[in-house]
Amino acid sequence: MTEEHAGSRTLPTVAVVGAGAIGAFFAGYLLAAGRADVTLCVRTPFDELVVESERWGETVRFRPRVLADPAQVADALAPPVDWVLLATKAHQTAGAAGWLRALTGSGTTVVVLQNGVEQVELVRPYVAAGARVVPGIVYSGVEPLGPGRVVHRTNGFVYVPARDPDQGVVPEDAERLDALFASDRAFVRPVADLTTALWKKLCANVVANGITALTERRIEVLRRDDIRLVASALAEECLAVGRAEGASIDAAFGEATIDRMAAMPDGAGSSMLFDRLAGRTLEHDALYGAVTRAGRRHDIATPVTDVVGALLAALSDRPDEVA
Ligand SMILES: NC(=O)c1ccc[n+]([C@@H]2O[C@H](COP(=O)([O-])OP(=O)(O)OC[C@H]3O[C@@H](n4cnc5c(N)ncnc54)[C@H](OP(=O)(O)O)[C@@H]3O)[C@@H](O)[C@H]2O)c1
């Protein structure tokens, strides 16, 4: 499908901040549904958005409204917008502060499409008073191919909390946002136990991302016995801390997660490996730093996590590489 974007102020307004892999995927399917007035707020501009879905055997193409400077927001849109989908990497959040300030007001719901468990604390300082900030737990395997071009391979949805973590009310965010996709694929799904969902996803991230980035090897590296020991220790530490934070995760979850990853097809990678291979800054602090910080709060030692986090930080900070 190829269409010109025709903005309409009568539709709910959605700004997608950061149109890399995840931002482009959700923006593409929102544009395809035509139920929202969608704007992409980007760092590297492009004319055409192309989402090639291998999973669903289709390609979505649009020429969307793209802004590359927060100073354009006041003229191009009538802020505040109804929804912001924040899809930068976690460590790029402060850099996107100008967008968040320009786009949000009371009545805006910011859904943070980022890995980690600290989404709300990280983003809240940058949004307008009265805006709601909701964590999103992304289950969508998407790889960026270049500005505005991505390939979608697995899953294709995000969990958002069924209850507002601050207000204790049922805001029906999942239903309202999912309705904008006009699809029975359930792009946005409610999750009742947010803490458990966040820590299960974090466990899956910490066992594979750091090891693949440090070794510059695909996920098959988890099939090595020596590497498996490292992955098991990372999972064990993460889940011990997660349980102390209130997550209900049984003892077998870590090993089952590693088994599932080790069984992935040859060539499967991780987003941190792709960032490493491209010389980009790594999202280590939102994953390993988060486990270390929460572990300290509960007096739980996380020695393997701390070492992997420190090695990734040193690799990420190499002065010869771009941010
Ligand atoms: N990809 C996946 O399969 C996947 C799956 C689950 C969860 N996640 C999580 O989803 C989040 C997003 O990941 P991703 O894979 O989509 O990352 P990504 O492909 O690196 O996309 C991030 C995008 O944010 C843009 N950006 C950075 N700073 C910006 C700024 N100041 N203003 C506007 N745009 C800015 C980047 O622009 P440039 O193009 O200029 O760099 C890039 O296009 C991460 O937390 C990741 O861990 C990803």
- Please name which of 151, 242, 157 lies closest in space to residue 205, comparing C-alpha atoms: 242
Q: Give the global pTM.
A: 0.95
- Expressed in angstroms and rounded, the spacing between residue 16 Cα and the centre of ligand 1 is 11
What is the percent of the chain with per-residue pLDDT over 70, rounded to a whole number? 94
- Expressed in angstroms and rounded, the spacing between residue 310 Cα and the centre of ligand 1 is 22
Mean pLDDT estimate for the chain: 93
Q: Which of 51, 53, 92 to probe ligand 1 with, by most ligand atoms within 8 A of CB?
A: 92
List the residue whose alpha carbon is closest to atom 35 of ligand 1: 18
List the residue whose alpha carbon is closest to atom 31 of ligand 1: 96
Among 55, 176, 189, 201, the active-site one is: 201
Does position 291 have pLDDT exceeding 50, yes or no?
A: yes
pLDDT digits (tens, 9 = 90+) for 217-268: 999 999 999 999 999 999 999 999 999 999 999 989 999 999 999 999 888 8
* Contact criterion met (CB below 8 Å) for 12 and 41: no
How far are the Cα atoms of 26, 132, 158, 216, 252 from residue 171, in angstroms, in the given order? 21, 10, 16, 42, 33
Does position 295 have pLDDT exceeding 70, yes or no?
A: yes
- Expressed in angstroms and rounded, the spacing between residue 174 Cα and the centre of ligand 1 is 22
Query: Which structural domains are found in the chain, ordered by start?
Result: 2-192 (3.40.50.720), 195-316 (1.10.1040.10)
Structure tokens at 207: 């066992």
What mean pLDDT is predicted for residues 142-162?
94
Catalytic annotation present for 201: yes
Lowest mean pLDDT among 25-29, 177-181, 201-205, 315-319: 315-319
Does position 13 have pLDDT exceeding 70, yes or no?
A: yes
